[in-house]
């Protein structure tokens, strides 16, 4: 069961979901869940595993859901927690959480929230996209690559990419929906052709709206963005969805070369990740 829960958790993380997981780390007396028993709940509401059922399962599940729902940054910065549950209704007043049970056992449970690592869709496999992939390699971030040009989107050029999607914008958008796109933390529009970036931007925003995941950013000037914004509105994209896009991307560090731009862009992604998932 332990391996199955951990495998399920990894699948949910790869899909871009946050997962709260509880593990029984110590048990004494008559208890439903033995050490190693685990319960995991994802941010989509799905769950897998068990810490023993009954009142213990209910209380632990509620705590995991509260941890996932918490928007309190100071609370999330504290990390996980360890709690002792006494399976006896007369345990009140002791330094434990008493449950309405007659088992009489004692269970220690650790609880934590695991956030998915960044997974960037590099939309454009040219010089800047290639440099961003190298930074992602050093940071142990996941990335996939999209380009309409096969020479700039293949396993030889990007051997560590999760996916290499060489196709038209229309084909890419046909294969994706709001759920599948959540596997990406960020989509970076870096194409050699501004028309490709514009078509992809409009298509993605029509699918995702102003969803928090994936974040969308585009390389380019403010003038380029004003044209994208005008085109988006003309094509029925809501203004609030356009306002969620970052353009130009990257921290303002005076970057010029593709390698410097890659550092600036990944530093911005890291700052956004830390703001959303403080440690």
What are the structural domains, with CATH classification, of the chain? 2-114 (no CATH), 119-276 (3.40.50.720)
Q: What is the pLDDT of residue 71?
A: 63
- Look up residue 223 and give its two tokens: 């003038």
Write out pLDDT tens, residues 10-29.
999 999 999 999 999 988 87
Q: Are 49 and 5 in contact (CB under 8 A)?
A: yes
What average pLDDT does range 55-65 have in this prediction?
Answer: 90
Predicted confidence at residue 91, as pLDDT, reads 46
For 165-184, what is the mean pLDDT? 96
Q: Which residue in 49, 31, 51 sits closest to 41, CA to CA?
A: 49
DSSP H or E stretch at residue 180: helix 178-181
- How confident is the prediction for the chain on average, in pLDDT? 89
> What is the spatial distance between Cα 130 and Cα 126, in angstroms, rounded to a whole number?
6
User: Whole-angstrom Cα distance, residue 82 to residue 109?
Assistant: 6
Cβ(19)–Cβ(13) below 8 Å: yes
Among the listed ranges 73-77, 85-89, 180-184, which one has the minimum average pLDDT value?
A: 73-77
Neighbouring-strand partners of residue 178: none
Residue whose entry in the numeric block shows the structure tokens 């899909």: 15
pTM of the predicted protein model: 0.86
Output the six-digit token pair for 17: 């979901």
Q: Assign 85 a pLDDT band (cuts: 50, 70, 90).
A: confident
Reported as a single tens digit per residue, the pLDDT across 237-275 is 999 999 999 999 999 999 999 999 999 999 999 999 988
How high is the pLDDT of residue 104? Answer: 60
């Amino acid at each position: 069961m332990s391996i199955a829960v951990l495998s399920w958790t990894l699948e949910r993380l790869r899909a871009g979901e946050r997962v709260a997981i509880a593990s029984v780390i110590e048990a004494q007396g008559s208890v439903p869940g033995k050490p190693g028993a685990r319960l995991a709940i994802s941010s989509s509401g799905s769950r897998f595993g068990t810490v023993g059922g009954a009142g213990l399962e209910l209380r632990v599940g509620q705590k995991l859901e509260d941890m996932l729902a918490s928007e309190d940054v100071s609370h999330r910065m504290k990390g996980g927690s360890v709690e002792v549950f006494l399976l006896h209704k007369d345990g009140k007043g002791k330094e434990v959480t008493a449950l309405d049970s007659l088992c009489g056992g004692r269970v220690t449970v650790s609880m934590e929230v695991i956030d998915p690592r960044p997974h960037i869709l590099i939309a454009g496999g040219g010089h800047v996209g290639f440099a961003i992939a190298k930074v992602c390699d050093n940071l142990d971030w996941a990335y996939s690559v999209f380009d309409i040009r096969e020479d700039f989107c293949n396993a030889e050029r990007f051997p560590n990419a999760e996916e290499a999607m060489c196709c038209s914008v229309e084909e890419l958008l046909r294969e994706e929906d709001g759920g599948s796109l959540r596997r990406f933390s960020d989509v970076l529009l870096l194409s050699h052709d501004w028309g490709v970036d514009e078509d992809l931007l409009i298509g993605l925003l029509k699918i995702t709206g102003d969803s928090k995941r994936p974040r969308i950013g585009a390389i380019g000037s403010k003038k380029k963005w004003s044209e994208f914004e005008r085109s988006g509105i003309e094509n029925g994209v809501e203004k609030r969805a356009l306002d969620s896009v970052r353009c130009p991307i990257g921290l303002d560090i005076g970057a010029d070369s593709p390698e410097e731009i890659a550092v600036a862009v990944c530093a911005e992604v890291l700052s956004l990740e830390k703001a959303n998932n403080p440690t």
